[in-house]
Amino acid sequence: SVNLADLSLPQLEGLKTQLDQEIEFLTSSIGQLKVVQTKYVEAKDSLNVLNKNNKGKELLVPLTSSMYVPGTLNDVENVLVDVGTGYY
């Protein structure tokens, strides 16, 4: 352990810069984790429509974030999950 009172002003400034960078990194990481958590919850909630009662029902299938096409729910047993970077 280092006594902060024993450090020179330039050393303290360097330590502050390092701590500021670590705080910025951790804040960014927390933000990214919250985005992933939200996507996970949305995906989990979306799976609730996959039950035998909904088989054959019409739905809207997203092509982009703002474009949908009509479709029919045929398979309620299997899903395709994109986990990023082209892996399914």
pLDDT by position in tens, the chain (length 88):
889 999 999 999 999 999 999 999 999 999 999 999 998 899 888 888 888 899 999 999 989 989 999 999 999 888 887 777 766 5
**Three-state SS at 75:** coil
pLDDT at 86: 64
The model carries a pTM of 0.60
pLDDT at 88: 56
Instruction: Please report which helix (H) or strand (E) contains residue 60, including its range.
Output: strand 58-62
Domain ranges of the chain: 4-72
pLDDT at 6: 94
